[in-house]
A and B are shown apart, each in its own frame.
Chain A
Amino acid sequence: MGTEFDKEYYKKERKADWRDKLRKEIKSKDRTEGVRVHMPEADPNVRNKSNIEVNKGLTLEMAMSESSRCLDCAVPTCVSGCPVGTNIPKFVKYIEKGDILGAAKVLKENNSLPAICGRVCPQEIQCEIECVYVKKLSKEGSAIGYLERFAADYERESGNSSIPELAESNGIKMAVIGSGPAGLTVAGELAKFGYDVTVFEALHDLGGVLKYGIPEFRLPKKIVDFEINTIKQMGVKFITNFIVGKTATIEDLKEEGFKAFFIASGAGLPNFMNIPGENFNGIQSANEFLTRVNLMNGDDANFDTPVHTGKNVVIVGGGNTAMDSVRTAKRMGAERAIIVYRRSQEEMPARAEEIKHAIEEGIEFMNLTSPIEYFADENGMVNKMRAQKMQLGEPDASGRRRPEVIEGSEHDIDVDSVVIAVGVSPNPIIQQSMPELETTKWNTIKVDDNMMTSVPGLFAGGDIVRGGATVILAMGDGRDAAQGMHKYIQSTILAEV
């Protein structure tokens, strides 16, 4: 992971007078004696009954003190861990200086969605793991994620939100398909270059997985809406209820004057395990469960959409989506909300923070366990899961130890609701409508170094290219694609003028 970064640029920036002065104010030795800030959290037994945000955010004092731990290294290795190349030391030092709005502005130079990244990025395996504290000093890394969130929240709450600088409008129409993290990033970046950008969204609400997938207690919807609104203020147009490939094809849109396209339709198709009884009622994909709650407000009796949950809810899987689902089930009143995962906690793909929060909230973990069959009552409603115990063998292709069945370990678990969170596959709609688009055997779209597909002028990024990854990797793709699209337009349309 990580991007190439221009060391000279960061060196030059570091030499700014104010940075020099700030560095000298506190000795590095004293800086390293500081202890990493703890994120204030809502009480686990209160938050597991409501949708309030779990992480409360740092206070100004906490943020300024944490920012003074940062050594403003000559070679800021943290930046190499950021898929969008955020100028981390610069924004952190603005916080130390007390210019929080300045810090927020720096964040927006490379990132259209800082308040979102500050909440959902796995900083612990990206920028923070590259921090000198971790690499050289065997200490906890600078809390870059918390500080990012702090600066973005501070700016939003100040009412003095800045809009990134835009190049003069060139009137060239660009289409973005999907309003998730990849699509929003491309839209913002293209607007900065001066393009006339329209985002087409299939659902009735904007934000993609940020809205239907990630729950309110981890990423409040008003924050997503605020960031989208900033992109709207940059002149980007949004059209909901529009499925490119169905409502209109790419060819139709070309006729309407669109010159280049970015496909960010996501990895929407949920995987099932294809074991007996999986189609009984009460067994649903994490996508269905979370969409019914997050997008359709199914947990609120004032809304018409029903959602199934129960007293004994099992979630199958160990990723962030599994954690989001199990914690949602708990909040909806499950007495037992259980993770069933075939490897051990160590191999779980979920962020350490999400696992910690889940444990605090009373989530049960049945690790090294894998379902093999479901049973139902006379109405076809699931009432029992048959599972088997696993043990870890030799490492497999993913580098994680391969789970192996322990013979004779079958046992039954009483359940009245099951959520399957074992991954997703790419959405097939665009590929179905464009047979000429080259795909991989996993149905992801093939792209080159500029994020361009096999069809000239058609770019793609995010989960439709990667399979199922993270918000920040999708955003990194978005940044790269915007560059690629800009180059494409310059070498074709603008070259002809």
Chain B
Amino acid sequence: MFKIIEKEFLSENVARLSIEAPYIAKSRKAGNFIILRIDEKGERIPLTIADANTEKGTIYVIVQRVGVSSHKLCDMNVGDTILDVVGPLGTATHIANVGTVLCAGGGVGVAPLFPIVQAMKLAGNRVITVIAARTKELVILENEMREYSDELIIMTDDGSLGEKGLVTLGMEKVIQREKVNEAVVIGPAIMMKFAALTTKKYDIPTVASLNTIMVDGTGMCGACRVSVGGKTEFVCVSGPEFDAHQVNFDEMLSRLNAYKTKESSGYSDYLKSLKPVLN
């Protein structure tokens, strides 16, 4: 059993939880993720470790309400327990002093980007971060990102905060202005696809962190497989980070929808079950 120690909402449907998991807090590195299962009937879902506190023995995860499990998780409170948490999984981000690193995050993808921004900065890089969201209320981790970035650019679709436009617009401005040695892009698959196309134009080595469907997270099932440079890779053991210019994002987008019908009907049934029964 893993206890929830802190909880806050970063935006209406995005919660940050700190969970007691001392071993994972100690051994996790930037880029690692966990798999959790809320209760006996729950599914196993992967979540990136956004941060950790080794003294308190806690890890932080950021979760967006999108389906049954994430909804349940967002509704849990301090003191509640999660039945299973396992990790840290995946291969850690390769952190080195390369010069200038452009970190771009979209939506809730800003959460897994944060530990990388932090590690890149601590490794001595000049870090320029671009975070994007549909609107002002959905921008998360602004202060945290600012603390570890030499420059923070915020992009919103409606211009309600920062500049108006997509993440790629902000990225391109930086690339045209100065030499970027490496880029890291994390967010919805469609955003990573276009962010990767942007950096490819300028031949900037780019890493993307993939959030595919997983069951065990240890290489056992292959649900997370993606094509990278024409070769099938398992995101859970060889990833989650890959050369963004080699990832087949169209295939990944399609595979993310593998259970869409079942998941959305399951979610609507769950939401119905939450409504008070009249009479």
Taking Cβ atoms with an 8 Å cutoff, the residues of A that contact B are 202-204, 212, 240-243, 246-249, 252, 268-270, 272, 274, 278-282, 284-285, 287-288, 291-292, 296-297, 302-306, 308, 379-380, 427-429, 432
Taking the complex as formed, is B77 at the interface, i.e. its CB lies under 8 A from any CB of chain A?
A: no
Taking the complex as formed, is B205 at the interface, i.e. its CB lies under 8 A from any CB of chain A?
A: no
Q: Considering the chains assembled together, what is the distance between the CA atoms of A379 and B250 in angstroms? A: 12
Check A284–B43 contact: CB distance below 8 A.
no
Check A279–B255 contact: CB distance below 8 A.
yes
Check A287–B254 contact: CB distance below 8 A.
no
Q: Mark B138-167, 1 if CB is under 8 A from A, else 0.
A: 000000000000000000000000000000
5 contacts between A and B (CB under 8 A): A268-B218, A285-B221, A288-B215, A291-B216, A380-B254
Q: Considering the chains assembled together, what is the distance between the CA atoms of A287 and B251 in angstroms? A: 21
Q: Considering the chains assembled together, what is the distance between the CA atoms of A282 and B234 in angstroms? A: 17
Check A308–B89 contact: CB distance below 8 A.
no
Taking the complex as formed, is B188 at the interface, i.e. its CB lies under 8 A from any CB of chain A?
A: no
Taking Cβ atoms with an 8 Å cutoff, the residues of B that contact A are 23-24, 27, 37, 41-44, 68-69, 83-89, 215-216, 218-223, 225-227, 232, 234, 237, 251, 254-255, 257-259, 262-263, 266
Say whether, besides A240-B84, A268-B218, A269-B219, A303 and B41 are in contact (CB < 8 Å): yes
**Min CB distance, A381 to chain B, in Å?**
8
Check B68–A304 contact: CB distance below 8 A.
yes
Say whether, besides A284-B222, A427-B218, A241 and B44 are in contact (CB < 8 Å): no
Check B254–A379 contact: CB distance below 8 A.
yes
Select from chain A the residue with minimum beta-carbon distance to B69.
A304
Residues of A within 8 A of B266 (CB): 304, 306
**Min CB distance, A69 to chain B, in Å?**
42
Q: Considering the chains assembled together, what is the distance between the CA atoms of A203 and B262 in angstroms? A: 24
Q: Considering the chains assembled together, what is the distance between the CA atoms of A302 and B24 in angstroms? A: 31
Extra inter-chain contacts (19) besides given A308-B258, A432-B237, CB under 8 Å: A204-B83, A212-B216, A240-B84, A242-B23, A243-B218, A246-B89, A279-B226, A284-B223, A288-B221, A292-B215, A292-B221, A304-B69, A304-B266, A305-B44, A306-B259, A308-B262, A379-B257, A380-B251, A429-B219
Check B259–A308 contact: CB distance below 8 A.
yes
Q: Considering the chains assembled together, what is the distance between the CA atoms of A446 and B23 in angstroms? A: 29
Select from chain B the residue with minimum beta-carbon distance to A425.
B219
**Min CB distance, A358 to chain B, in Å?**
23
Residues of A within 8 A of B225 (CB): 272, 279
Q: Considering the chains assembled together, what is the distance between the CA atoms of A134 and B47 in angstroms? A: 56
Residues of B within 8 A of A252 (CB): 27
Residues of A within 8 A of B24 (CB): 247
**Min CB distance, B77 to chain A, in Å?**
20
Residues of A within 8 A of B42 (CB): 303-304
Select from chain B the residue with minimum beta-carbon distance to A426.
B219
Q: Considering the chains assembled together, what is the distance between the CA atoms of A174 and B37 in angstroms? A: 29
Select from chain A the residue with minimum beta-carbon distance to B254.
A380
Check B219–A428 contact: CB distance below 8 A.
yes
Select from chain B the residue with minimum beta-carbon distance to A213.
B220
Q: Considering the chains assembled together, what is the distance between the CA atoms of A275 and B259 in angstroms? A: 23
Return the 3 tightest CB-CB contacts between A and B, nearest first.
A380-B254, A288-B221, A268-B220
Check B215–A296 contact: CB distance below 8 A.
yes
Q: Considering the chains assembled together, what is the distance between the CA atoms of A268 and B218 in angstroms? A: 8
**Min CB distance, A238 to chain B, in Å?**
14
**Min CB distance, B271 to chain A, in Å?**
14
Check B218–A296 contact: CB distance below 8 A.
no
Select from chain B the residue with minimum beta-carbon distance to A304.
B43
**Min CB distance, B241 to chain A, in Å?**
15
Q: Considering the chains assembled together, what is the distance between the CA atoms of A281 and B223 in angstroms? A: 10
- Count chain B CB atoms within 10 A of each CB in A246, A274, A303, A428 and give the residue with the most: A246
Check A202–B86 contact: CB distance below 8 A.
yes
Check A380–B222 contact: CB distance below 8 A.
no
Select from chain B the residue with minimum beta-carbon distance to A270.
B222
Q: Considering the chains assembled together, what is the distance between the CA atoms of A243 and B86 in angstroms? A: 8
**Min CB distance, A297 to chain B, in Å?**
8
Which of A246, A268, A292 meets B88, CB within 8 Å? A246
Residues of B within 8 A of A246 (CB): 27, 87-89
Q: Considering the chains assembled together, what is the distance between the CA atoms of A269 and B69 in angstroms? A: 26
Residues of A within 8 A of B215 (CB): 288, 291-292, 296, 305
**Min CB distance, A311 to chain B, in Å?**
15
Residues of A within 8 A of B218 (CB): 202, 243, 268, 427, 429
Q: Considering the chains assembled together, what is the distance between the CA atoms of A308 and B27 in angstroms? A: 35
Residues of A within 8 A of B68 (CB): 304
Which of A268, A281, A296 meets B43, CB within 8 Å? A296
Say whether, besides A204-B83, A248-B23, A296-B44, A272 and B232 are in contact (CB < 8 Å): yes
Q: Considering the chains assembled together, what is the distance between the CA atoms of A249 and B29 in angstroms? A: 14
